[in-house]
């Protein structure tokens, strides 16, 4: 059975510093069914990364609830894996050592740990680089190591914070397609933060658009494209173009600096 259903109810996050309170997220409710690929877009400062870190358990909500499979989260857990834009690899560990890290934390035996790590190294097309250190790898390879490390300990949910944002376009597209293959094969729930509308629409089954600060859910857009087709056929299709324009227009309304009308 596929697991990884995320339920967010009336979520609010307020940061307090020096006696000042800044509301980052306000009254956000969202359901992410098991196995769904959801992308989140919104203007800068709307709380996208804050939302991801709340789901990850790195931050504590001010009010409201977040649960996974009907169990409230109470901090980080191995049911949720996070992939960052800056890779967050251990520079003193090899590729194999980095991918094994989460398994070590779960006290997996050495032989099983090595076999599991090798499986995901191979899945990410990194075979032959097991003994290399991060400084010897390109940006794209580092991100593949980071993804392999996260997948190796088998989280139900992948939380991805603009993981391809620092990569050039050809490499970015290659890793997008690789991620889609992995998502289909492993049936993970994916919550993917991005500022790129085209990326969000290409990857996702659904896109959530957040309002500008304080962030909440403005709307969600269903993505209805035939994913059996090639990338070129998808991005040239009428349905992809129409959906991309819908998401872009909704996002543009939030990045417009004209004061909102008072009701």
pLDDT single digits (tens) 142-198? 999 999 999 999 999 999 999 888 788 888 899 999 999 999 999 999 999 999 999
**pLDDT tens digits, one per residue of 240-256:** 999 999 999 999 998 77
H-helix or E-strand spanning residue 176? helix 169-186
Query: φ and ψ at 185, to 5 degrees?
Result: -70, -40
Q: What is the pTM of this model?
A: 0.92
Residue 186: inside a domain: yes
Supply the pLDDT for residue 257: 57
Where does a domain end: 128, 154, 180?
154
Average pLDDT in the chain: 91
Supply the pLDDT for residue 32: 97
Residue 17: inside a domain: yes
Residues 6+ apart with CB under 8 A from 32: 5, 6, 7, 8, 38, 189, 191
Q: How confident is the model at residue 262 (pLDDT cuts 50, 70, 90)?
A: very low
H-helix or E-strand spanning residue 40? strand 37-41
Same domain for 226 and 241?
yes
Same domain for 150 and 170?
no
Average pLDDT over residues 214-240: 92
Same domain for 225 and 103?
no
Same domain for 185 and 69?
yes
Same domain for 123 and 148?
yes
Sign of CA dihedral 152, 155, 156, 162: negative
Higher per-residue pLDDT: 19 or 14: 14
Pairing of strands 217-222, 206-210: antiparallel
Residue 49 per-residue DSSP state: H
Chain centre to alpha carbon of residue 58: 15
Same domain for 195 and 95?
no
Average pLDDT over residues 227-237: 92
Supply the pLDDT for residue 2: 65
Same domain for 65 and 28?
yes
Return the closest-CA partner of residue 48 out of 81, 13, 88, 89.
13
**pLDDT tens digits, one per residue of 52-91:** 999 999 999 999 999 999 999 989 999 999 998 887 899 9
Supply the pLDDT for residue 151: 93
Supply the pLDDT for residue 18: 83
Query: φ and ψ at 209, to 5 degrees?
Result: -100, 130
Average pLDDT over residues 226-252: 93
**pLDDT tens digits, one per residue of 101-119:** 989 988 889 999 999 999 9
**pLDDT tens digits, one per residue of 192-217:** 999 999 999 999 999 999 999 899 99
Supply the pLDDT for residue 263: 41
Instruction: Report the distance separating Cα 229 and Cα 72, nearest Å.
Output: 39
Specify the CATH number for the domain of residue 187: 3.40.50.300
Residue 84: inside a domain: no
Return the closest-CA partner of residue 94 out of 115, 121, 116.
121
Same domain for 37 and 163?
yes
**Domain residues for 215?**
6-79+159-256
Where does a domain end: 132, 154, 176?
154
């Amino acid at each position: 059975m596929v697991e990884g259903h995320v339920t967010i109810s009336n979520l609010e996050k307020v940061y307090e510093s020096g006696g000042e309170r800044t509301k980052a997220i306000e009254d956000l409710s969202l359901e992410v069914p098991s196995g769904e690929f959801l992308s989140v877009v919104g203007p800068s400062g709307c709380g996208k990364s804050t939302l991801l870190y709340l789901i990850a358990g790195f931050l504590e909500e001010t009010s409201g609830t977040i649960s996974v499979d009907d169990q409230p989260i109470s901090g980080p857990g191995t049911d949720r894996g996070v992939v960052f834009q800056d890779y967050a690899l251990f520079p003193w560990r090899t590729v194999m050592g980095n991918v094994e890290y989460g398994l070590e934390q779960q006290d997996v035996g050495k032989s099983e740990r090595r076999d599991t790590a090798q499986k995901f190294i191979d899945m990410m097309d990194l075979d032959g680089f097991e003994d290399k250190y991060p400084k010897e790898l390109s940006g794209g390879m580092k991100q593949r190591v980071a993804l392999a490390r996260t997948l190796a300990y088998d989280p139900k949910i992948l939380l991805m914070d603009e993981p391809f944002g620092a990569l050039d376009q050809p490499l970015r597209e290659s890793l997008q397609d690789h991620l889609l293959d992995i998502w289909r094969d492993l049936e993970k729930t994916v919550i993917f933060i991005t500022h790129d509308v085209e990326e969000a629409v290409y990857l996702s089954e659904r896109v959530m658009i957040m309002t500008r600060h304080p962030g909440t859910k403005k709307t969600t857009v269903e993505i209805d494209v035939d994913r059996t087709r090639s990338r070129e056929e998808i991005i040239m299709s009428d349905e992809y173009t129409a959906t991309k324009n819908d998401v872009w227009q909704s996002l543009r309304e939030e990045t417009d600096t004209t004061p909102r009308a008072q009701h």
